[in-house]
Amino acid sequence: MDLVALLKYMQENYWEQITNHPMAGNEVAKNFKQGAKTAVPIALLGEDYKVSASIGQGVWANVPWIAVHDKAISTSVKQGVNIVYLFTNDYNGVYLSLNQGYTFINDNYKDTKTTLKKIAYFWQDNLSTLKTDDNFTTEPINLGKDAERYTTRVKGYENCNIYSKFYDISQLTEDDNNLLLQDLLHMITVFKELKMHLIPDKENSVKATIDFILTDGDYVELNERAKSDKINNLEKERKLVLVKEEAKQKGILIKEGSVEYETKRDYVKEAIRNTEKGLQGEILVLNFERERLLKNPVTKPYVEKITHVSQNGDGHGYDIISYDV
């Protein structure tokens, strides 16, 4: 079952099931959760990602969902930042949403709605890969098509939204499946940019970043705090090279780490900026190649073989392996 078929399956069956049948052992629930894992193939996403789906715990959910998790950030919609397909509560529509973990915010911060909105506005103002064409938008989402099932939790999911695209399920055809996957790849590009700006923290990098945002932290300062280990090591190596070179010119023996070296030109900031832009560029190219291969039935089977080789080292002489007819 591909993604379009799965969405239509839920549109046709979910309301009847939650109205007339128990959840325990339910065949539609089972097919939905199993189908999500094939409809959103890991071969397309990569092994760093996990797919999950839910129709509720113990009782039927008013809003079922399918989620794509980056395992390094979160494996649950309760926390972190995830990419989620959220059904409207009449099951005729679905949103592809870059979505925050509602339960974590609700449990750890006083004003849940205000907190969620402030975080969403921060990312909406600063992420460079957001686009407002092809029906992608930063406008609020509306899951509450049915007033009787428009619960606090459903409203919470709405407030968690950062960026989204809406699909009218009845208007989707089988030919739209590739479009849905391309939209998902674009959302992953946006997510990867957000992930790149999370503050490193052994306990919880998302919480550290949230706390920074809520204290009116500046995006430029966030970039400084979010420097990767690779960039920090680059800074140390640069200082060591410059100190050694200066010492050599003066005929002085310098021990590593004993001298700080300053220069008017900030090579570290330049390196950070160039590395971030380079990675963003590679992600854009990577997803462009995936979209291109998906459009051609000859190249479509090779989508899973596209490789981002520069993530494993800089010695290849190229960044991405792709394919053509």
**Within this chain, do residues 155 and 272 fall inside the same structural domain, yes or no?**
no
How many domains is the chain partitioned into structurally? 2
Q: Whole-angstrom Cα distance, residue 307 to residue 323?
A: 10
pLDDT at residue 274, as a whole number: 65
**pTM over 0.75, yes/no:** no
**Within this chain, do residues 183 and 286 fall inside the same structural domain, yes or no?**
no
Q: Whole-angstrom Cα distance, residue 200 to residue 211?
A: 13
Number of H helices, E strands in the chain: 11, 6
pLDDT at residue 165, as a whole number: 98
Token representation of residue 301: 């089977």
- Which is more confident, 121 or 252? 121
Please report the beta strands in 104-208, taking only residues with DSSP state E, as ranges in sequence order: 136-137, 161-168
**Within this chain, do residues 246 and 189 fall inside the same structural domain, yes or no?**
no
Q: Look at residue 72 and tell me whether its pLDDT is greater than 70.
A: yes
Mean pLDDT of 103-132: 94
**Within this chain, do residues 149 and 26 fall inside the same structural domain, yes or no?**
yes
Number of alpha carbons in the 13 Å side-chain half-sphere of residue 218? 3
- Summarize pLDDT for 197-241 with one digit per residue, the tens: 999 887 889 999 999 999 999 998 998 888 765 566 556 666 666
- Summarize pLDDT for 249-305 with one digit per residue, the tens: 666 655 555 555 444 556 566 666 666 677 778 888 888 898 888 888 888 889 989
Interacting residues of 259 by C-beta distance below 8 A, sequence separation 6+: 243
**Within this chain, do residues 105 and 227 fall inside the same structural domain, yes or no?**
no
Please give the torsion angle defined by the CA atoms of residues 146, 148, 151 and 157, in that order, rounded to the nearest 10 degrees: -10
**Within this chain, do residues 171 and 221 fall inside the same structural domain, yes or no?**
no
SS3 category, 68: strand
The CATH number covering residue 129 comes to 3.30.920.90
Chain position carrying tokens 């700080």: 260
Please report the beta strands in the chain, taking only residues with DSSP state E, as ranges in sequence order: 49-54, 65-70, 81-87, 93-100, 136-137, 161-168
- Summarize pLDDT for 158-182 with one digit per residue, the tens: 999 999 999 999 999 999 999 999 9
